Amino acid sequence: EAQVTQNPRYLITVTGKKLTVTCSQNMNHEYMSWYRQDPGLGLRQIYYSMNVEVTDKGDVPEGYKVSRKEKRNFPLILESPSPNQTSLYFCASSSLAGINEQFFGPGTRLTVL
Partner 1 sequence: EDQVTQSPEALRLQEGESSSLNCSYTVSGLRGLFWYRQDPGKGPEFLFTLYSAGEEKEKERLKATLTKKESFLHITAPKPEDSATYLCAVQPGSARQLTFGSGTQLTVLP
Binding footprint of partner 1 on the chain (CB under 8 A): 4, 31, 33, 35, 40-45, 48, 50, 56, 58-59, 90, 92, 99-107
Smallest distance, Å, CB 42 to partner 1?
4
Amino acid at 34: W
Least Å distance between CB 110 and partner 1?
A: 15
Query: Strand 19-25 vs strand 76-78: parallel, antiparallel, or unpaired?
Result: antiparallel
H/E element, 19: strand 19-25
In the complex with partner 1, the residue whose CB is nearer, 40 or 62, is 40
